[in-house]
Amino acid sequence: MDQVRKRKSAADRKAEIVDTVIKLSAVLGPDRVTTQHLADAVGVTQPAIFRHFSTKSEIWDEVSRRIAADINEMSESVESPQTGLRDYINRFLSFVSERPAVPAILHSIELQVENTELRNRFTALNRDSTTRVARLIERGQERSEIRAELSATGIAGVVMTSLQGLSHDWLLKDQAFDLESAGNRLADDILAMIGA
């Protein structure tokens, strides 16, 4: 007997579409995901996709909202500067390992050229994440855990750039190495360089 397909609420279907865009981006690359790919993966028609989102840019805008919210939630609770910095690095890389498309989406020139809202959201996300890390560095400097002569903003920039580079390296090497172990080595190296 054929099973009757259960109709999803509009909110559930929109969430499914966003999740599917992120998953497809890991396989195809974010700039190559078409609404036909999306419709096929979700199991609906293209017009059904456009009942939930009026344009492709609107889909990507919602994807950017989800990623920004998830990264902000992931990075909110940190403890001492030294454990907090390690925790931030580990949480970010764990987030990436669960959603391998995120680095490509965050840094896609094609997507950002076509969608000003997305570009602004990701620019703000990067700025806010860098500021969070800089505050951890400053707290470490106040506690004499991190060398006082270092620029907190400069070190935060090194941390963010290192995370981006490591994430991209992991993706380019087909996820052939353990990202968590690489993240722990990165944290060890950074903390060794900046420790008081």
* Alpha-helix residue ranges (DSSP H) falling in 99-151: 102-106, 109-114, 116-142
Instruction: State how far the alpha carbon of 107 is from the alpha carbons of 29, 141, 146, 149, 167, in Å.
Output: 11, 31, 30, 31, 11
pTM value is 0.83
Query: 5-60 pLDDT, tens per residue?
Result: 467 888 889 999 999 999 999 889 998 999 999 999 999 999 999 999 999 999 99
Domain 57-194 maps to which CATH number in 1.20.1260.10, 3.40.50.740, 2.30.40.10, 1.10.357.10?
1.10.357.10
